[in-house]
Amino acid sequence: MRGMTESIPLALTASEIVTGRKKIVVVDDSLVVRKVLAMKLKANGYDVLEAADGATALSIVRSSSPDLMLLDISFPTDVAQGGGASWDGFHIMEWLRRMEEAKDMPIIVITGGNADEYRPRSFKAGAVGFFSKPINQEELLAVIRRTVGEDQLSIPPQAA
């Protein structure tokens, strides 16, 4: 029996206990980007949560403890909230790193912005990956699998 307990992960999220699936939150102001990524991720066995802005993203992280975040950098000014300063992905990362439930959550940046500027800033802010839009979805899936420890699951067993 000892061998069986060694294969059980020590820390399961609530979604993994119920579904056995990793949970990914996609944070992007573009509904199209969120839906396209959600469809691809769901088709590859992930549970997906979506947020169109920083406040929603933080709320989802607090309530759902996702395993990974895909995060855009640029968000429009929130006119509904009086047109104050908008959140950007760097601001969101800064907040997440202060939250106990998110301080170690991996973040992969997805952006249509200036890659030469945003790539080094993203890694300095703690991102584990960076993708420019349009996103190569197969490369993104490979990075996600590796990041959440599932890369060995996608490799077929070697013939004896």
Residue 29 domain boundaries: 14-147
How many whole angstroms separate alpha carbon 98 and alpha carbon 96?
5
Residue 155 lies in a domain: no
Residue 5 lies in a domain: no
Q: Which residue has the tokens 């590859």?
A: 44
* In contact, 65 and 23? CB cutoff 8 Å: yes
Q: How many domains does the chain have?
A: 1
Residue 18 lies in a domain: yes
Residue 139 lies in a domain: yes
Residues of the chain with pLDDT under 50: 1-17, 79, 153-160
Indicate the residue type of 149.
G
Residue 158 lies in a domain: no
Cα 24 to Cα 5, 38, 113, 123, distances in angstroms = 26, 9, 22, 19
Indicate the residue type of 73.
I
The domain that holds 64 is classified in CATH as: 3.40.50.2300
How many whole angstroms separate alpha carbon 118 and alpha carbon 13?
31
* In contact, 68 and 41? CB cutoff 8 Å: no
pLDDT at 10: 36
pLDDT at 152: 58
Residue 24 lies in a domain: yes
How many whole angstroms separate alpha carbon 7 and alpha carbon 83?
51
Residue 50 lies in a domain: yes
Indicate the residue type of 148.
V
Burial class (CB in 10 A: 0-12, 13-18, 19+), 82: exposed
Residue-wise pLDDT for 48-76, tens only, equals 999 999 999 999 999 999 999 999 999 88
